[in-house]
Amino acid sequence: MKHVINVLVENEFGVLSRIASLFSGRGFNIESLTVAETEDSSVSSMTIVTEGADHIIEQITKQLNKLINVIKVVELSEAVQMAREMVLLKFSINGGPKRVELLSLIEIYQGRVLELGPRSLIVEMTGERAKIEAALEVLGPFGIKEMSRTGLVALARECGK
């Protein structure tokens, strides 16, 4: 089962490497990892998506907590997570009915066209992971030339907990 873990760390060099080496050294799996500064520039936030049985996830959170530069570790259960992922897609497509069809599908998935050229198209799409997966399935047949995904970013919900 997939788990989303939010980690607040001191914004110092080497911290990302400590986290990564903890996962690799102990044989834990990282599906995605995003990291950026928070509102406090001395603190960075990481969202890690990982997979494993409950006792593995418990070890992961404990081991993360044990790192000196880690300030806080929160495992976000599905019920409380507000999670989003962004993807940039490049299509190689000429004008014509196929392009019209593609543009209408992009609209359905609330994608935004960032660049429209005579033979290419760059699209931005944001959403829950399931939505991104669904969009990729539908848009795939149009020939995705390049793709860049952010991995998940997440926060705990405040309402309806």
Partner 1 sequence: MRKLSGAQILLEVLQEQGVEVIFGYPGGAVINLYDHLPDYSCRHILVRHEQAAVHAADGYARATGKTGVALVTSGPGATNTVTGLATANMDSIPLVVFTGQVPTPLIGNDAFQEADIVGITRPCTKHNYLVKKIEDLERIVNEAFHIAGSGRPGPVLIDLPKDIIAGQWVKKKSVQPLLKGYNPTYAGHAGQIQRAMQVLFKARRPLFYVGGGVILANAASELTELACRLNMPVTTTLMGLGAFPEDDYLSLGMLGMHGTYRANMAVTGSDVLVAFGARFDDRVTGRIDKFAPDAKVIHVDIDPTSISKNVTVDIPIVGDLSDVLRKMLAVVKSSPEAAELCAAGHDEWLKKIANWRDQHRLSYEQDDVIKPQFVVEKISQLTRGQDPIISTEVGQNQMWAAQFFTFTRPRTWLTSGGLGTMGYGLPAAMGAQVAFPGRLVIDIAGDGSIQMNSQELATVVQYNLPVKVIILNNGYLGMVRQWQELFFAKHYSSTQMNHAPDFVKLAEAYGALGLRARTPAEVEPVLLQAFSHPGPVVVDVVVAAEENVYPMVPAGEAISNMLLV
Which positions lie near partner 1, rule CB under 8 A? 9-10, 14, 17-18, 21-22, 25, 55, 58-59, 62-63, 65-72
Nearest to partner 1 of 23, 109 (CB atom):
23
CB of 90 to partner 1, least distance (A): 34
CB of 45 to partner 1, least distance (A): 14
Sheet with 2-10, edge to edge strand ranges? 32-37, 43-51, 2-10, 70-76
Count Cβ atoms below 10 Å from residue 143 Cβ, excluding itself.
12
CB of 15 to partner 1, least distance (A): 10
CB of 157 to partner 1, least distance (A): 25
Nearest to partner 1 of 71, 103 (CB atom):
71
Task: Using the Cα atoms of residue 74, residue 124, residue 112 and residue 3 in order, give the sign of their dihedral.
Answer: negative
Nearest to partner 1 of 68, 159 (CB atom):
68
> How far is it, in rounded angstroms, from Cα 157 to Cα 120?
38
CA angle 62, 64, 67 (to 5 degrees): 110
Whether 157 and 80 have beta carbons less than 8 Å apart is answered as yes
Nearest to partner 1 of 57, 88 (CB atom):
57
